[in-house]
Amino acid sequence: MYENLKRALFDKKISNQTLASVLGIHINSITNKIERGPWSIKEAFLIKDVFFPEFELTYLFAGESDGEDKSTA
């Protein structure tokens, strides 16, 4: 669902385990959130601030129904 986030994580070689550790949640929760959401506002800002300050939240967390941008930022 969050293809831009998935691509950004892949490009920076950030594992689900690393993401889970930073957010303080179980790795299974990360997998579920990446595939289906939802993300809390706090989680979204933490991901952006720690890993992706170069991207806008709207880009990282765009879903298919949001008119997700498939191009690179």
- pLDDT, one tens digit per residue, over 4-32 is 999 999 999 999 999 999 999 999 999 99
Task: Give the pTM.
Answer: 0.81
Q: What DSSP letter does each residue of 21-35 carry, written as one string?
A: HHHTS-HHHHHHHHH
C-alpha 67/C-alpha 15 separation (Å) is 26
**Domain chopping of the chain, boundaries:** 3-63
Instruction: Quote the CA–CA distance of 65 and 21 in Å, as a whole number.
Output: 29
Residue 16 corresponds to which tokens in the numbers above?
């689900």
For 14, 17, 70, the CA distances from 27, given in Å and listed in that order, are 13, 6, 26
For domain 3-63, give the fold: 434 Repressor (Amino-terminal Domain) (1.10.260)
CA-closest candidate to residue 49, choices 37, 60, 38: 60
